[in-house]
Amino acid sequence: MTRYLIPDACIRDIGEYEKTGGYQGLEKALSMEPGQVVEEVKKSGLRGRGGAGFPTGMKWMFAAGDPKFPKYIVCNADEGEPGTFKDKALLKNNPHILIEGMAIAAHALKAETGYVYLRAEYPKEKEILEAALAQAHEKGFLGENIMGSGARLDIQVHRGAGAYICGEETALIDSLEGKRGQPRLKPPFPVNAGLWGKPTVVNNVETFANLPFIMRAGAQEYMKIGAPDCPGNKLFSVSGHVEKPGVYELPMGITLKDIIYDHAGGIKNGKALKAVIPGGVSAPVLPPDKIDCPMDFVSVQKWGSMLGSGGVIVFDEDTCMVQVAHRALQFFEHESCGKCTPCREGTGWLRAILERLETRQGREGDIRLLEDVSRNIAGNTFCPLGDGAAMVVLGFLKHFKEEFSEHIENGCPYGRTGKRPDRPAPVQ
């Protein structure tokens, strides 16, 4: 199995990086016409690794086809999805691969300015990345006349301010412009009117990191890796009740079961698997009978969830599903930007109902209410954040409804509110 994203040992020095073939992809790209680079990426079938899985080559083609200049490339490093920490691993262990990837993209799009929108909570990574950027400048991979090709690129690192919504590309752009980070109306899409109204390509850290390999090895080689519809390797952040949590670089299409049992060492302390969230908190939960699901953008959707950011969260048999749902909704309520009504008001309402359930104040009809509210949110929000929140609740209800009913009748069976305390006598 080829691994090209995260090396065995951390590489921060540019010399070390070059020894492993680093910046050869850029060299190759610079020897090609920008249009050819776009074409090659299109051919490779690379899909964006931020969560939506949109074909990267297509995105580039739209931006490259827009006559407006300057164009911008932006790296979305606002890794905020709970259960996801792959970009952090990349930035820490292989910062130059991002820089090389961005330089390739810049050449393809004729962009001369790039931004890395970095999650506020990654100050260490900022230092590492900035040190790498300085090295790349020094060596002539950035700045004026890159590798003698005449191309130029400057990359600036911008730290976010901690809002999850700024991982949404249009909110990210607003935030980068100094505005309140909220999703913009689409169309126009960022590829036509993004940063400062100019054509802008926003790609995830991992997406950029795939480019050096594609350029170096060629689209043909790249397509041999992974699933037919979704080629390449994917970084999976595995967390929760497994023996060996961590980031795993594995080919697309590997089954959930393989990830959990072969790579992450199985369920902790030999317990049984109860549920798994395959793609970060926004992805609906899957029960144990679905762990044969191949992990690629197309398959996971067929199996009833989303690959998302590849954040695999594993729960053992002792986990309270209501508590997990409650914790997730706490997150969504806190991170709802407030722009659209259903998400702003609905996420808080869902959280409040789940809180009742978890604290033995559940009432008859609450499950119905949860479903109703979720359905009223889903499909009616401005951006996918609200949809995600609703789908999460509906996912838990789909597979674990009995546990919810149990909460209403007898309180939390996992002792979150005291081990099955007697219910107070009803007031006469």
Partner 1 sequence: MINISINGKKIGLEGPATVLEAARRHGIDIPTLCNHPALELWGGCRMCVVEIEKMPRLQTSCTVMAADGMTVYTETPRVVAARKSVLEFLLINHPLQCPTCDKAGVCKLQDLTVKYGAVAGRFEEGKRTFPESVDDPLIVRNMERCIMCTRCVRMCDNVQGAFAIGVVNKGTRSHVEPFSGGRYNCEYCGNCLNVCPVGAIMSRLHRYTYRPWQMDKTVKTICSFCGVGCTQLLEVRSGAIQKVSPVFGEGVNKGLLCGRGIFGYGYVGSPERLKTPLIRKNGVLEPAEWDEALALAERKMLEIKNLHGGRAIAGVAGGRCTNEENYVFQKLLRAGFGSNNIDSVARLGLMHAQNLLEDIFGQGAAANLISGIPRSDAVITVACDPTQTNPVMGLQVRAAARAGKKVLTVGHAHGLRRHRTHSLPAHIGTEGMALAGLLSELLKIKKLPGENPEFEAAIKNFELPRLEEVETYTGVSAAMLSGAASALKDVSSSSIIAGRELAAHRDARRNLMLLAAIGYILNSRFFLISEHPNEQGLIDMGCAPDTLPGARPIALQTFRERYEEAWGVKLDPEPGLSLMEMFEQAGDTVRAMYIMGENPAFNLPGRKMVKSALGKLDFLVVQDIFMSETAAMADVVFPSLAWSEKEGTYTNLEKRIQKLEKAIEKNPEKKVFLMEDWQILMEIGKRAGLNMPYTASSDIIDELARLSPLHAGLGYGDLAETGMMWPYKGKPLRMGGRIPALPVSRAEAPSKEQALAPVLVLDKPLFHSGTLSRHAGPLLDIMAEAEAKLSPETGSVLEVTDGAMISISTAEGEMALKVKFEKGLPVGAIFAGNNFGEAGALGLFGYELEPESKTPILRFANLEIKLETGKL
For partner 1, give the closer residue by CB, 108 or 343.
343
Q: What is the DSSP string of 224-276?
A: TSB-SSSBSEEEEEEEESBSS-EEEEEETT-BHHIIIIIIS-SBGGG--EEEE
Spatial contact of 289 and 307, defined as CB atoms under 8 Å apart: no
Exposed/middle/buried for residue 223 (C-beta within 10 Å: 0-12, 13-18, 19+): middle
87 part of the interface to partner 1, by CB under 8 A: no
How far apart CA 8 and CA 419 sit, in angstroms, is 46
The full length of the chain comes to 428
* Position among 212, 347, 397, 411 found at the interface with partner 1 (CB under 8 A): 347
Residue 70 is a binding residue for partner 1 (CB under 8 A): no
Which range touches partner 1 (CB under 8 A), out of 119-127, 136-144, 234-242, 348-356?
348-356
Nearer to partner 1, 335 or 403 (CB): 335
**Interface with partner 1 by CB under 8 A: which range of 88-96, 264-272, 344-352, 395-403?**
344-352
Q: How far is the CB of 166 from partner 1 (least distance, A)?
A: 11
90 contacts 132 by C-beta, under 8 angstroms: no
Residue 341 contacts partner 1 per CB under 8 A = yes
Q: Which of residues 375-414 bind partner 1 (CB under 8 A)?
A: 376, 379-382
**β-strand partners of 267:** 242
Helices 95-109 and 123-138 sit at what angle, rounded to 10 degrees?
60
Q: Which of 7, 246, 265, 348 binds partner 1 (CB under 8 A)?
A: 348
CA 135 vs CA 10, 60, 97, 375: distances in Å: 16, 27, 13, 51
Q: Whole-angstrom Cα distance, residue 373 to residue 346?
A: 7
Among 85, 236, 349, 400, binds partner 1 (CB under 8 A): 349
Is the separation of the CB atoms in 286 and 297 below 8 Å? Answer: no
CB of 82 to partner 1, least distance (A): 16
Tell me: does residue 346 bind partner 1 (CB under 8 A).
yes
Q: 317 vs 372, which CB is nearer to partner 1?
A: 372
Strands of the sheet with 233-240, listed across from one edge? 246-251, 233-240, 311-316, 273-277
What is the rounded CA–CA span in Å between residue 229 and residue 396? 28
Sign of CA dihedral 136, 93, 52, 36: positive
Query: Which 170-189 positions form the footprint of partner 1 (CB under 8 A)?
Result: 180, 185
Smallest separation, CB 336 to partner 1 (Å)? 4
Sequence-distant (6+) residues with CB within 8 A of 214 are 25, 40, 41, 44, 46, 222
Q: Residue 40 or 333: which CB sits closer to partner 1?
A: 333
Tokens of 59: 């995105």
Contact (Cβ atoms closer than 8 angstroms) between residue 176 and residue 183: no
Applying CB under 8 A, among 125, 335, 403, 406 the residue interacting with partner 1 is 335
Show the tokens assigned to 270. 């030999």
Which residue number, 190 or 346, has a Cβ lying nearer to partner 1?
Answer: 346
CB of 177 to partner 1, least distance (A): 13
CB distance 54 to 48 below 8 Å = yes
Look at residue 141 and give its three-state secondary structure: coil
In the complex, least distance from residue 69 CB atom to partner 1, rounded to whole angstroms:
16
Closer residue to partner 1, CB minimum distance, 153 or 370:
370
**Residue with Cβ nearer partner 1 (53 or 346):** 346
Give min distance, CB of 157 to partner 1, in A: 24
Number of residues that bind partner 1 (CB under 8 A): 27
> What gap in Å lies between CA 13 and CA 47, rounded to an integer?
28
The single residue among 342, 362, 388, 411 that binds partner 1, judged by CB under 8 A, is 342
Q: Which is nearer to partner 1, 122 or 349 (CB)?
A: 349
Q: Name the maximum alpha-carbon separation found in the chain.
A: 87
* Nearer to partner 1 (CB atom), residue 206 or residue 335: 335
Over the window 127 to 166, marking each residue x when it contacts partner 1 by CB under 8 A and - when it does not, the resulting string is: ------------------------------------x-x-
CB of 375 to partner 1, least distance (A): 8
Site track for partner 1 across 305-334, x = CB under 8 A: ----------------------------xx
Of 68 and 419, which has the nearer Cβ to partner 1? 68
Q: Which is nearer to partner 1, 200 or 381 (CB)?
A: 381
Residues that bind partner 1 (CB under 8 A): 163, 165, 180, 185, 333-342, 344-349, 352, 369, 376, 379-382
